[in-house]
Structure 1
Amino acid sequence: MRKAAVTTVSTVAGVILLLSLKPHQSSAATVAGPSPSASPSSAGSASPSPSATHTPGGASATSGASGTFTGSVINTSYGPVQVSVTVSRGRITAVKALRTPSDRPRSQEIAATAVPQLTREALSAQSAHIDAVSGATYTSEGYTRSLQSALDEAGV
C-alpha cells in the first residue's frame, strides 16, 4: 500500500513538472533558424543587395527603370536555376524561370510546384526577399539569388 502511494505521488509530481516546463528555445530557433540563416547568407554573400533592394524601392519610382533583365545561373545541388525579371517604371511586372532543376522527375515535380509560388511571392514583395518554399529549399535559394542578380542588373 505504501509503495502504491509513493508511486502515485511520484507520477503526479512528474506529470506536473513536465507540464510546467516551457519548450526549449532551440526548437523555436530551429523553426525560425532557416529564415535568419538564409538572410545572413544572402546578406553575407551580397550585402549591397538588401540595401539595393530597399533603397531603390523609393528611388526606382523616380528612376523609372524598365526592361527585361536576366539573372545569373545559380547552380544548386539538383541543377541550375535562372530567372529573368521584367521591370516597368521601377516595378517588377513579371518573373520568368528560364532554367530549373530538371535532371530527375522528382526535381521537375518540385520545380513545377515551387516556381509558381516563388513567382507570386516575388511579384507581391516587389523584391527577392521572399520565403523559401517548403520542400524546395535549393530551388528556392537558387531562384532568389538569380532574381536578386537580375534586380541588381536592373538597378531596382
Structure 2
Amino acid sequence: MHALRKSRPLRRVVLASAATVSGLVMLLSLKPHTPPQIAAAPAPAASSGSGATAGSDGSGSSSGGSSSGGTSSGGRSTGTKTTTGDTVQTRWGPVQVRITVRNGKITDVTAVSYPSENPRDQEINGYAIPQLRRQALAAQSARIDGVSGATYTSDGYRQSLQSALDSAGL
C-alpha cells in the first residue's frame, strides 16, 4: 500500500508538515551576501597649513575655516586655500564639505561629515561620496548632478560645497 493513500490522512499531514518545516529551516539558514566595502574618503592634504580642521567633527559651527594663501587685487586666489562649508542637516544626518583651492581652481573636495550611522548609510555614501567628489572637481562649481539613490546626501553635499565656494570667493 502506498504511503500517501487516503486511508492514512494523518500520515499525509505529518509528511507535508515535515516538508514545510524542512523548507523553512533551509530558507532561514541562508546567509545574506557580504556587504560591499566602504570607499574611504581621501584624507585632506597635510601641507595645506594649520587651522584647516575647523568643524571636522561634523558638529562644528556653520562657518568654515581657511588656511594659507593670499588674494590678489582681482579677488582670485593666488596660492592654496582650504575652506570648510556649512554643515547641512539632511533627513539622514549632517553633510559637510571641505575644498582646497589653488590659483582659483578647485584641486580637492573632501566630505568632512556625512551620514554613516548604519550599514545602509555606509553602503549608499561609500558609493555616492566619491562620485560627488568627481563631479565637483569636473564642474569646478556646485552645479553637479548628484547621485541617484543618494538624493539627500547629494543635496546636502551641493549646499555645503556652494557654501565653501562662497567662503573661498569663487
**TM-score when scaled to structure 2?**
0.54
Structure 1 residue 62: Cα displacement: 6.7
Whether 1:142 and 2:159 are equivalent positions in the alignment is no
> Which ranges of 4 or more aligned residues in structure 1 deviate by more than 6 Å?
none
Equivalent AA in structure 2 for residue 75 of structure 1: Q
Report which of the two has the higher share of helix.
1
Residue by residue over 1:39-80, the C-alpha shift from the partner in whole angstroms, topping out at 9 and shown as x without a partner, is xxxxxxxxxxxxxxxxxxxxxx87235300000101100111
Tell me the residue number matched to 2:139: 125
Tell me the residue number matched to 1:44: none
Q: Secondary structure at the match of 2:106?
A: strand
Tell me the residue number matched to 1:84: 98
Shifted more, 86-95 versus 63-72: the winner is: 63-72
Whether 1:109 and 2:123 are equivalent positions in the alignment is yes
Greater Cα radius of gyration, structure 1 or 2:
2
Q: Check conservation: 2:76, 2:169, Cα contact below 8 A.
A: no
Q: Which one of 49, 60, 84 corresponds to residue 70 of structure 1?
A: 84
- For 1:83 and 1:115, the matched residues in 2 are separated by 10
Tell me the residue number matched to 1:52: none
Q: Check conservation: 2:128, 2:147, Cα contact below 8 A.
A: yes
Higher relative contact order (CA 8 A, sep 6+): 1
**TM-score when scaled to structure 1?**
0.59
How big is the alpha-carbon RMSD for the aligned residues of Structure 1 and Structure 2?
1.7
Consecutive unaligned residues of structure 1, counting only runs of 5 or more, are 1-60
Residue by residue over 1:92-147, the C-alpha shift from the partner in whole angstroms, topping out at 9 and shown as x without a partner, is 00000100101221011111100000000100000010001000000000001001
1:14-29 maps to which residues of 2 (within 5 A)? none
- For 1:142 and 1:107, the matched residues in 2 are separated by 14
Tell me the residue number matched to 2:63: none
Equivalent AA in structure 1 for residue 77 of structure 2: G
Equivalent AA in structure 2 for residue 129 of structure 1: R
- For 1:153 and 1:106, the matched residues in 2 are separated by 32
Q: Secondary structure at the match of 1:120?
A: helix
How many residue pairs match? The answer is: 97
- For 2:97 and 2:75, the matched residues in 1 are separated by 25
